[in-house]
Structure 1
Amino acid sequence: MDKVAIITGAGKGIGKAIAEQLVDDGFKIAVADLDIDSAETTARHLVNARPYKVNVANHDSVSELVHKVVSDYGRLDVMVNNAGITKELTLEEMSEDDFQQLFDVNVKGVLFGIQAAAAQFKQQQSAGKIINAASIGAYSVAEKHSGYSATKFAVRSLTQGAAKELGQDQITVNAYCPGYVETPMMKTILANYAQQNGTTVEEEISRGSQRIALRRPEQPEDVAKVVSFLASDRADYITGQAIVADGGVIYK
């Protein structure tokens, strides 16, 4: 029986790489994104993948997503709560709306994904896997990313709590913590750094790589391999963990 996985924020970046990896692993995939055009583009190039529009900051939208996927595919086995945003702001610069938006997407999006997936797993009377997007920012706070890090610390907390609450139902809940990943979002951040420092994006990538033990920026595919493991039977006895995969930046 083919397993079914939902990945939110799967239209591009890390989410797209996760979708591609899980298709290679034999999953049927729901490519879910707020930007339906990017979801459709990603799904079009994958076998056994369908696009879905979702607003992870809205409880009903996430619940409806799970119902649609189960209606289309018959079941759910893995929920990857990948969607997320960042804002480069000092705490003094951050408005209430900025702070609220970070928590709406990064934290509520994970909470609603946990709730919808857990309800479906219990209805199916089957084991299931929930995998959440955290970050090295869940362990170490970078300048101008305090708000973002606060959301990722919260994701670690939700992951641990859900693992304890859902373990009796054979539902595992884990998180992945990437480092400096070459994604469109990261390149926008690096472009800002380059403008501030009078450098180029390439120079910023080279300088940033010197802080990484492996001396190269992380690729979305590196993150996808970790999610692939957590989604597999090999991770059946792992739960409540936030696994750092950053090439050697922080050590936990």
Structure 2
Amino acid sequence: MTTTVITGAGGGIGRAIATELADRGHRVVVTDVDLAAAEATVAQLSTQHVADHWARRLDVRDPRAAATVAEEVDAAHGLDAWVNNAGISAMVPFLDVEPAQVERTLSINLAAVFTCGQAAARVIARRGGGRIVNIASMAGKQGRVPYLSDYVASKFGVIGLTQAMAFELAEVGIRVNSVCPGYVATPMQDRELIWEASLRDTTTEAVRDLYLRDTPLRRLEEPRDVAKVVAFLLSDDAEFITGEAIAVNGGAFMD
């Protein structure tokens, strides 16, 4: 049985990933800075394959906490896979972004992927190999994203870091890939719709229509669309894929 840790899985894409993996037979360790949210995710996971999914509080900015989770999970069940999903955003024009915002965005969206990736890889390497998936973004492949300059920088960094991790960790049997979602219908996107509507002096409905027009498949992405691709990358079907940034965006950005 595969045991997988997911960061930022108290809601949104992270919760969808946890749900999909549990449905496919993974033992899931749900982590979030909000323990109650993590516990709520665990409470709705399928127990058809395993009865002991876990919830753990984890501030991904704390390398020692990440290492503790990795070691604890490995000691109990063996750590096979890790999904770096935790992330934040805030929409502000480039000239108005404060240094504190840049620091916070980079610390959670990029630096934490680095340190959590280290914590996971150190443990997984001892087991002879496994998988790591980093959640990046369509905004990690193009800078044509308004009011999200610090977010764009962080997600470009995640894609580059994924390649560097994949190159070095291949020799210890760890595959590392990233997934790049587009306009995903989550609470984060709900906040962004409000912010962008205000910045554009329009309505949230108009901004949502803009997202739809930008997507050839003509619907907003659902969290499960992302989760299914993560599940594929963690499976043996992807055993010869590493260092990739898989676009899951309905054609909103094609590379």
When normalised by structure 2's length, the TM-score is: 0.94
Structure 1 segment 97-136 matched on structure 2, within 5 A: 97-124=100-127, 126-136=128-138
**Contact 2:5 2:81 (8 Å CA) reproduced:** yes
Q: 1:89 to 1:193 in 2, by over 3 A?
A: closer
Paired position in structure 2 for 1:163: 166
Structure 1 segment 140-219 matched on structure 2, within 5 A: 140-141=142-143, 142-196=145-199, 199-219=202-222
Paired position in structure 1 for 2:10: 11
Of 83, 86, 93, which aligns to 1:83?
86
Whether 1:225 and 2:228 are equivalent positions in the alignment is: yes
Partner secondary structure for residue 172 of structure 1: strand
Paired position in structure 2 for 1:56: 60
Shift in Å, 1:157: 1.1
Q: Supply the distance in 2 between the matched residues of 1:95 and 1:206 (Cα, whole angstroms).
A: 30
The Cα RMSD (Å) is: 1.3
Structure 1 segment 227-242 matched on structure 2, within 5 A: 227-242=230-245
Paired position in structure 1 for 2:71: 67
Q: What do the CA deviations read for 1:6-58 (whole angstroms, capped 9, x no partner)?
A: 00000000000000000011000000000111001010111342111001111
Paired position in structure 1 for 2:246: 243
Shift in Å, 1:195: 4.0
Whether 1:138 and 2:140 are equivalent positions in the alignment is: yes
Shift in Å, 1:207: 3.0
Of 95, 98, 105, which aligns to 2:98?
95
Query: Which residue identity lines up with residue 43 of structure 2 in the other structure?
Result: R
| Stretch deviating more after TM superposition (186-195 or 162-171) | 186-195
Equivalences, count: 249
Query: Which residue identity lines up with residue 95 of structure 1 in the other structure?
Result: E
Partner secondary structure for residue 4 of structure 2: strand
Query: Which residue identity lines up with residue 174 of structure 1 in the other structure?
Result: N
Shift in Å, 1:109: 1.2
Q: Supply the distance in 1 between the matched residues of 2:156 and 2:206 (Cα, whole angstroms).
A: 30
Partner secondary structure for residue 179 of structure 2: strand
- Structure 2 segments unaligned to the other structure (5+ residues): none
| Stretch deviating more after TM superposition (12-21 or 46-55) | 46-55
Partner secondary structure for residue 175 of structure 1: strand
Partner secondary structure for residue 175 of structure 2: strand
Query: Which residue identity lines up with residue 51 of structure 1 in the other structure?
Result: A
Q: Supply the distance in 1 between the matched residues of 2:110 and 2:87 (Cα, whole angstroms).
A: 9
Q: 1:87 to 1:197 in 2, by over 3 A?
A: closer
Partner secondary structure for residue 216 of structure 1: coil
Query: Which residue identity lines up with residue 67 of structure 2 in the other structure?
Result: S
Shift in Å, 1:143: 1.2
Paired position in structure 2 for 1:22: 21
**Contact 2:91 2:195 (8 Å CA) reproduced:** no
**Identity between Structure 1 and Structure 2 (%):** 37
- Structure 1 segments unaligned to the other structure (5+ residues): none
Q: 1:198 to 1:103 in 2, by over 3 A?
A: closer
